[in-house]
Amino acid sequence: MSAHVFEFSGMGCPCALHLEADDESVARTARALVFAEVDRLDRKYSHYRDDSLLATLCATAGEPIEVDAETANLLDFAAELHRQSDGLFDITAGRLTRLWDAPGGRVPAADEVAAALRLTGWQRIEWQRPHLRLPLAGVRFDLGGIVKEYAADRCAELCRAAGVKAGVVDLGGDLALIGPHPDGTPWIVGIKAPQATDRAAARIELARGGLATSGDYERALIVDGRRYSHIVDPRTGQPVASFASVSVVADSCLVAGAAATLAMLMGMARGGDYLRELGLPHLCIGNDGRASGDIAR
Amino acid sequence: MNAAKRPSSSLTLLLAASAALGGQKSVQADETGSAQSVGYRFNVYDEDAFSGQPVIGSPERYHVDSQQFALDTGVGGRNTLDVNATHEVMSGSSPWYLVPGPGNKPVQVLSGATIRDHRSAVQAAVTHDAGANDTTSVNASYSAERDYHATAIGAEHSMPLNVAVTLACGGSFSHDLIRPTDAELYDRISRAQKNTLSGFGGLTWVLNKASVVESGIQINYQTGYLSDPYKLATVGDVQLPDTRPEKRTEGAWLVRYRYALNADAALHADTRVAANSWGQHSLALEVSWYQRVGGDWQLVPGLRYYAQDSARFYAPFFAADSGGPYFSSDYRLGAFGALAANLNVRKRIGHWEVTAGAERYHSSTSYALGSSGVPDPAIVSYTRVYAGLDFHFD
């Protein structure tokens, strides 16, 4: 049994595939599958690419279009998260997110926020599976919080189908377990510390399922000493005073990612309660570096 | 994790929402569940009677009613057992030999009496699924009728070479014992046997998410009594027993293509080209469309084309000085081709599945490969209808 680590860049972040396999060719095949799947989902769902399916969907406003089953499943999931979070989780908030996430490093003007808000709101979208119709032109989708996590689960699934039994898929800190080490022992995985991204805030044992982290430690906007989160409340258009990061462990990376994103959106006040209510192991780190949650540091 | 305690209502909601995206089955995914089912089929096969051409004897041809029981069940671990039992009742008369008629056109002589016979067969296979397309299967079968007993054993193995390519190989051996009826009366061989050894190897490629192609080679080698004891050949003015070589080697190349248009529709396209040491070549093409309709219904229309040329020693009848040593006027060794259209309908009702279908097979020497020479009047066209019921335990 030999260990393989394949590092690559995907979905705009550093990724790694850790495998333990007897057979070199099995490991290489798994690597090729993972690269291809990440690339496929990135091309299909990236909100940064003008040639993605999402961009195409946005460009066809007015006309009802039929989407494929995978996209329909993601839209159903997003719709359900929108409902469960009273509108906090909203994949139509792409324009708002972009505004606050702009690399220019300035706080957007009130009229810019108001314009983006007019193009935000899942309730404005007509979604009758498999038909999607955007009544407004200019809506921008953002599947952040679900697509990378979904991709991690898919990659783990493909590795298992390829015959790999032990390994971890790491897409920018969102992890999906292929399976425990060959002797059954769990993998030790690190949760990045918000302030020092090369250091682990905690180490936990994982044998299966997934771990996802939502945070704005890498993308927060700091202007005149004030920190603006890129986590934006789609109902007000304003950044949410939230944790520096929220990490959640669940049976799948997708569920972990959804829970972490919802907790981030709920903010310091309600996010922790929500995670406790879910009953999923979690770690929340505040902007002052203080940790809470039931994952030991 | 949270396995020990009941999930909260918010988590239940979250898990339910993620189910379609695989969020709930990340761990269970590699556990294979064996589908268990029992099924019954009733099948009616009816050959068209001779019509519009002179025949000697009853123009009625073969009619077969068959019943089939199938059981598919897990037998512990990753092993499954498939058992099939078939009972057939055959009746009708079969082509015996040809004689030259007016204008040297062949006239079919049919066996004098209408035969009525039974065949019973049982087949069992045990398959071990090691996961990830790695399966090993062994099988055995036995078939008995009054004048024919066939026993066969076989094994197959398939294993992934990598995630996109699977290798399959296998072999089988069959021993057939022939004890023709009325041997003394018609001067037939009283007892004979033949053995068949087969081997195949193939590769299956997953081309992409929607399509799979499989290519394989099959070799069959037969020795022993390969003639048909119930057929004669006209040589000059006399009828001699059908006499074929005691060895036959056949090689075939198969290509199968599967294309899933979406979750509800798929195209299956198969081809097989073959050649044998008796000088015959054949080609088979088959296209089927699998269409799910409204969730529970499945329609499978299909078209099939088959064509072959004739064996070196085949002729409707032979000149007295044609030499031999082999003579056969069996239409199955002559040049002909066939077109078939079929439709299968399935409907799932809870654990039950009802299936019904029909096939119309039309053969003609004009569809044959190469020059067809004199048309053999015996080439067969038939209609097949069937219905069945399966019960799935899952």
Judge residue A276's burial from the number of C-beta atoms within 10 Å of its C-beta, 0-12 exposed, 13-18 middle, 19 or more buried: middle
- State whether A296 and A198 are in the same domain: yes
Provide mean pLDDT across the span B347-366.
92
- State whether A191 and A291 are in the same domain: yes
B164: which chain A residues are within 8 Å (Cβ-Cβ)? 29
Residue A218 lies in a domain: yes
Q: What pLDDT is stored for residue A104 in this prediction? A: 62
Alpha carbon distance, N-terminus to C-terminus of chain B: 29
- Name the residue type at position B205: W
**What is the length of chain B?**
394
Q: Cβ of A244: how many Cβ atoms within 10 Å?
A: 23
Angle at the Cα of B32 (from B26 to B33), degrees rounded to 5? 115
Cα four-point dihedral sign B222, B224, B230, B231: positive
**CA-based nearest residue in chain A for residue B26:** A252
- Name the residue type at position A26: V
* pTM: predicted TM-score of the whole model, two decimal places: 0.56
Alpha-carbon span B389 to A202, nearest angstrom: 58
Express each pLDDT in A151-167 by its tens digit: 999 999 999 988 898 99
List, edge to edge, every strand of the sheet that includes A2-10.
Answer: A2-10, A13-21, A166-171, A174-179, A210-215, A245-250, A282-285, A291-292
CATH of the domain at A288: 3.10.520.10
- Residue listed under structure tokens 């159903």: A76
| B372 pLDDT above the threshold of 70 | no
Q: Which residues of B have a CB under 8 Å from any CB of A?
A: 1-2, 5, 7-8, 10-11, 13-18, 20-24, 26-27, 29-30, 131-132, 160-164, 262-263
Express each pLDDT in B186-202 by its tens digit: 778 888 999 999 999 99
CATH of the domain at A69: 1.10.3980.10
Residue of A189, A251, A270 to mutate when probing chain B, most B C-beta within 10 A: A251
Paired tokens of A229: 């989160």
Residue B137 lies in a domain: yes
Angle at the Cα of A89 (from A87 to A91), degrees rounded to 5? 110
Paired tokens of A25: 């060719």
Residue of A189, A278, A282, A294 to mutate when probing chain B, most B C-beta within 10 A: A278
Q: How many domains does chain A have?
A: 2
Residue of B26, B129, B208 to mutate when probing chain A, most A C-beta within 10 A: B26
Pairing outcome for strands B135-145 and B148-160? antiparallel
Q: What pLDDT is stored for residue B176 in this prediction? A: 95
Express each pLDDT in B316-336 by its tens digit: 988 888 877 899 999 999 999
Residue among B78, B174, B340, B162 at smallest CA distance from A163: B162
Size of interface A-B (CB pairs under 8 A): 106
Q: Cβ of A51: how many Cβ atoms within 10 Å?
A: 9
The residue ranking higher by pLDDT, B220 or B108, is: B220
Q: Across chain B, what does the average pLDDT equal?
A: 85
Could A74 and B21 be called an inter-chain contact, meaning their C-beta atoms sit closer than 8 Å?
A: yes
Residue A126 lies in a domain: yes
CATH of the domain at B166: 2.40.160.40
Could B10 and A277 be called an inter-chain contact, meaning their C-beta atoms sit closer than 8 Å?
A: yes
Express each pLDDT in A168-205 by its tens digit: 999 988 999 999 988 888 898 888 777 665 667 788 88
* pLDDT > 90 in chain B, percent: 48
Residue A113 lies in a domain: yes
Q: Across chain A, what does the average pLDDT equal?
A: 85
Q: What pLDDT is stored for residue A189 in this prediction? A: 87
Angle of helix A147-161 relative to helix A24-45, nearest 10 degrees?
150
Alpha-carbon span A222 to A229, nearest angstrom: 9
Q: What pLDDT is stored for residue B299 in this prediction? A: 93
Q: Which residues of A have a CB under 8 Å from any CB of B?
A: 25-26, 29-30, 33, 69, 73-74, 76-77, 80-81, 84, 150, 153-154, 156-158, 160-163, 165, 176-177, 208-210, 249-255, 258-259, 274, 277-281
SS3 call for A44:
helix
Residue A286 banded pLDDT, cuts 50, 70, 90: confident
Distances, alpha carbon B101 to alpha carbons A68, B2, B330, in Å: 65, 87, 17
| A1 pLDDT above the threshold of 70 | no
Alpha carbon distance, N-terminus to C-terminus of chain A: 31
Residue A28 lies in a domain: no
Q: What pLDDT is stored for residue B28 in this prediction? A: 32
Q: What pLDDT is stored for residue B26 in this prediction? A: 32
Q: What pLDDT is stored for residue B383 in this prediction? A: 96
Alpha-carbon span B13 to A77, nearest angstrom: 11
Minimal Cβ distance to A278: which of B14, B27, B29: B14
Q: How many domains does chain B have?
A: 1
Helices (H) and strands (E) in chain A, counts: 7, 15
Q: Cβ of B76: how many Cβ atoms within 10 Å?
A: 8
Provide mean pLDDT across the span A44-62.
75
Residue A226 lies in a domain: yes
Provide mean pLDDT across the span A261-288.
88
- State whether A200 and A113 are in the same domain: no
| A46 pLDDT above the threshold of 70 | yes
Which helix (H) or strand (E) segment holds residue B40: the answer is strand B37-47
How much is the ipTM here? Answer: 0.76
A252: which chain B residues are within 8 Å (Cβ-Cβ)? 18, 22-24, 26
Rg (CA), chain A: 19
For residue B190, give its domain range.
34-392
Who contacts B206 (Cβ-Cβ below 8 Å, separation ≥6)?
Answer: B163, B164, B165, B212
Residue B174 lies in a domain: yes
- State whether A116 and A52 are in the same domain: yes
Residue A242 lies in a domain: yes
SS3 call for B321:
coil
Express each pLDDT in A88-123 by its tens digit: 999 998 888 888 775 566 778 888 888 888 889 998
Alpha-carbon span A294 to B126, nearest angstrom: 49
Express each pLDDT in B121-142 by its tens digit: 999 999 987 765 678 999 999 9
For residue A218, give its domain range.
186-297
Q: If you ran DSSP here, which 8-state letter would residue A273 be given?
A: H
